[in-house]
Structure 1
Amino acid sequence: MDVIEVQLSIDDLRPGMYVNRLDRDWVGTPFPLQGFYITKNEQIALLRQYCQHVFVDTLREQMPSQVNRARTDGALPARRRTYTNSHNFAEESPSARKVNERAAEFAQQMIADVRNGQKLSAQSVQDAVEPIVQSILRNADAFLWISGMVRRDAYLYSHCVNCSALCAALGRHLGFPEDTLIHLATGGMLMDSGKVIVPDELIQAPRRLSFKERDQVRRHVEYSVHVLDEAGIHEQNVRDMVLGHHERVDGSGYPAGLSQSETPLFARIAAVVDSYDAMTSPRPYSKAISRHAALQELYHGIGSLYQGEVVEQFLQCLGTYPTGSLVELSNGEVGIVIEQNQARRLRPRVMLLLDAEKRRYNRFPELDLLVHNDQHPEQPIHVVAAPEPGSYGLDPAELFLSVV
């Protein structure tokens, strides 16, 4: 096939164009290595985080009618409002930690109650998730940092709290009203509650399950819906999340094998959040991967597993290197992202853990890459890698406990 490349700045891009090359290596970005069509403005916003210009193939440009057809399938609703932080990271962190502790206590008690056949109280669920939403509204980074750093004894109740917060954070980014954020946080908290009814030896099995065993595990969706019924939680958005968080846009999911056009929006959101937290958490049958790598996995699943618009908005919500990510800097230092810079996602605020010689700091200094690079343009520092969890012998949860 003939190729006619034209170099364009990010501001000159529009839906319908085919991106053939970047102004940098594809490695380290979430984009397909073979190039891709721009079908949504969100992709342009994502490109802006990584590049100053790209090379487009003018022979492969689509007509507007073709782009419109690609965008109408399961489009996200228009943003109703834009939230801004009312507290900075330092101001919100103490409150976020208390809210996280109470949420973890609730999740632990919820799992014990479900395991023992006791009904949940709808009011107790609301009392647990509303403070999460309020903390996320004040400053999402603070809660996500603490939620990601605190060490848990069991994956399931950690997953409940993390998914609740991540769903609320994505809803905040999308501009959903506060009552809808509570629905999202509730669905995130409860969508895997039925797993405690599945035999523990199957949930914890460090091996491939048989077809019969797999079907037993998949029944956790049915059990989770029963938990909602018993608690008298009938909000449709919550039920959509619980029932549909394992559906996939190509129809390969369960329990109903729904495709994108058939799957409710909140179920598509839950699918992305559930997968992300699972990939970034250690499980008996799988090691945790970095947050940056998990975002790349989600992006590679667009069109087969996940809806593109939801994934792209999730990437914009969390940033290229999400809060809690280990990062290696161009000067050799290693740190952990503690806060995003909303204007420049590639320049987060970092707590430094190792110096350039990979020696651990006695006290962990902080470095705001945006401020540093503005003040020292002659000596810019940028993120060059996102090491996997455990790299350099670092356990962020252990370090977190030592500095809070």
Structure 2
Amino acid sequence: MALEEHKLPVSELRPGMYVCGLDRPWEGTPFLLQGVMIQSVEEIDTLSALCAWVYIDLDRGLGPLGLSLLPSDAQSQPVAPTRARTSLSDLDIIALQGSTRYPEQIDFEHALAEAREAHARAAEFAGRVLDDVRSGRPLDPEGVREAVEPMVRSLVRNADALLWLDTLRERGQYEYAHALSCSALATAFGRHVGLPESLLVDLASGALLLDIGKLRVDPVLLTQTGPYTEEQTRAMRAHVAHALSILDESSSVPDHVREMIRTHHECLDGSGYPAGLSGDSIPLLGRIASVVDAYDAMTSDRPHCRAVGQHVALQVLYRDRGTRYAPEVVEQFMQCMSVYPIGSLVELSTGEVAIVMAQNSARRLQPRVMVLTAPDKRVLDQFHSLDLMVRAHSDDPVRVVAPLPPGAHGLDPVALFL
């Protein structure tokens, strides 16, 4: 599909427009990615200070419910919402997009205690479910739902609090940590696009089980630091088939959840596995899972590579949209994570280093942060939170000047907060 660009004065920009080009290079602007979905007046003001003209992509313009999760040539197809079926098609799911609004029901501080309990319970249940499978017992679908439901409820009430806790927990064994983080990220994504809570539970359940088949892969392969041989690659990729066998040994797993797990390593251009599917032959939940799985993998330490910063992972997803990943899913995921994702290390205009705690949805460039260091990068004896949106209206405004890589200035947020 050809890109349909339209030149527009910055003064005519409105929230919901997708800016794909500037009258100057993107380098040197606060926008990390070469393209931005305008969500606030603040972003328009920022662009006004940088340039006079922009180019917007008309194919990505928002409708009343926001950018569709289906390609633009499918957006006009009328679909009746379907809630009672045990298996949902892509069109069923897209019909449910925007059907549920999730205003913050509780502020960040009050949400933390609830989120901490929900996260601990989810981790306990998830560990029990995965250990059962590792021991050869059949998967318990009800146990999976019990693992994710408290987390879903917490995310529905306040998404930032649970994502903040997930970022700062000790990761332990990668497979377990990855399962829990993917579940949280998938739920946050579904909440962002307005899917009903029952479908959020399905998303969370499927994401928790994406790599369950690795429990039947030789453990030596999971900890190998060097490149795989061709035979080892086949053995690792077989984890998808193992996952499906595990699901088939149990009951009550909805077909759309099974398809999500089956296709989360397929790529839009057909280069993925196990079936080499391409384009719309990959179900929507599989396309979502692919993005969530890749993002969490890139931002986690793994035996063969170190974690990259959240902003770098978003750049990789954006670069590979249209080849590996569905563009409409990547763009919505980027909006969900925001410019500075929760858990990101950032440098402030004061020289201090902080970690992003929570988003300000109306001011994406002004998150709430926890300040970790003094301007000379000395770790503070006592950390303090700072709402950059509030501070922007003071006599001494503070802003983010740059995202930082994991471990910058020797900082380990997990160790600092334990």
TM-score normalised according to structure 2 size: 0.84
Residue 381 of structure 1 corresponds to: 398
Task: Tell me whether 1:347 sits opposite 2:366 in the alignment.
Answer: yes
User: Whole-Å Cα distance in 2 between the matches of residues 225 and 202 of structure 1?
Assistant: 20
Residue 395 of structure 1 corresponds to: 412
Residue 43 of structure 1 corresponds to: 37
User: Whole-Å Cα distance in 1 between the matches of residues 251 and 194 of structure 2?
Assistant: 28
Change (3 A) 1:86 1:220: same
Residue 184 of structure 2 corresponds to: 165
Secondary structure at 1:362 match in 2 = strand
Q: Cα distance, 1:231 vs. partner?
A: 2.5
Change (3 A) 1:263 1:5: closer
Q: Cα distance, 1:220 vs. partner?
A: 0.6
Q: Cα distance, 1:385 vs. partner?
A: 1.4
Task: Tell me whether 1:29 sits opposite 2:31 in the alignment.
Answer: yes
Secondary structure at 2:346 match in 1 = strand
User: Whole-Å Cα distance in 1 between the matches of residues 357 and 391 of structure 2?
Assistant: 16
Equivalent residues of 1:10, 1:47 under 8 A apart: no
Q: Cα distance, 1:79 vs. partner?
A: 1.5
Q: Cα distance, 1:233 vs. partner?
A: 3.4
Change (3 A) 1:61 1:183: closer
Most deviating of 315-324 and 277-286: 315-324
Q: 1:139 aligns with which of 144, 155, 158?
A: 158
Q: Cα distance, 1:326 vs. partner?
A: 0.8
Residues 22-60 of structure 1 deviation map (CA, whole Å, 9 limit, x = unaligned) = 58626763434xxx7xxxxx83449974842453469x9
- Aligned counterparts, 1:367-378, within 5 A: 367-376=386-395
Q: 1:319 aligns with which of 335, 338, 358?
A: 338
Residues 241-294 of structure 1 deviation map (CA, whole Å, 9 limit, x = unaligned) = 101111111111111111121111100110000000000100010100111111
Most deviating of 43-52 and 248-257: 43-52
CA RMSD of aligned residues (A): 2.9
Residue 39 of structure 1 corresponds to: none
- Aligned counterparts, 1:64-213, within 5 A: 71-72=72-73, 77=95, 78-213=97-232
Q: Cα distance, 1:200 vs. partner?
A: 1.3
Equivalent residues of 2:155, 2:188 under 8 A apart: yes
Residue 222 of structure 1 corresponds to: 241
Secondary structure at 1:386 match in 2 = strand
Change (3 A) 1:10 1:112: farther
Change (3 A) 1:48 1:242: farther
Equivalent residues of 2:298, 2:313 under 8 A apart: yes
Change (3 A) 1:48 1:73: farther
Q: Cα distance, 1:111 vs. partner?
A: 2.6
Q: Cα distance, 1:11 vs. partner?
A: 1.5
Change (3 A) 1:359 1:131: same
Change (3 A) 1:289 1:235: same
Equivalent residues of 2:16, 2:37 under 8 A apart: no
User: Whole-Å Cα distance in 1 between the matches of residues 200 and 133 of structure 2?
Assistant: 24
Task: Tell me whether 1:276 sits opposite 2:270 in the alignment.
Answer: no
Task: Tell me whether 1:302 sits opposite 2:347 in the alignment.
Answer: no
Equivalent residues of 2:40, 2:362 under 8 A apart: no
Residue 289 of structure 1 corresponds to: 308
User: Whole-Å Cα distance in 2 between the matches of residues 57 and 315 of structure 1?
Assistant: 20
Q: 1:52 aligns with which of 26, 40, 47?
A: 47
User: Whole-Å Cα distance in 2 between the matches of residues 61 and 222 of structure 1?
Assistant: 41
Change (3 A) 1:25 1:380: farther
Task: Tell me whether 1:243 sits opposite 2:246 in the alignment.
Answer: no
Aligned length: 384
Equivalent residues of 1:114, 1:194 under 8 A apart: no
Q: Cα distance, 1:372 vs. partner?
A: 0.5
Structure 1 residue runs of 5 or longer lacking an equivalent are 37-41
User: Whole-Å Cα distance in 1 between the matches of residues 201 and 181 of structure 2?
Assistant: 14
Q: Cα distance, 1:351 vs. partner?
A: 0.5
User: Whole-Å Cα distance in 2 between the matches of residues 140 and 197 of structure 1?
Assistant: 33
Q: Cα distance, 1:12 vs. partner?
A: 5.7
Most deviating of 14-23 and 261-270: 14-23
| Structure 1 or 2: more helix by fraction | 1
Equivalent residues of 2:39, 2:362 under 8 A apart: no
TM-score normalised according to structure 1 size: 0.87
User: Whole-Å Cα distance in 2 between the matches of residues 327 and 213 of structure 1?
Assistant: 39
User: Whole-Å Cα distance in 1 between the matches of residues 303 and 268 of structure 2?
Assistant: 27
User: Whole-Å Cα distance in 2 between the matches of residues 13 and 130 of structure 1?
Assistant: 33
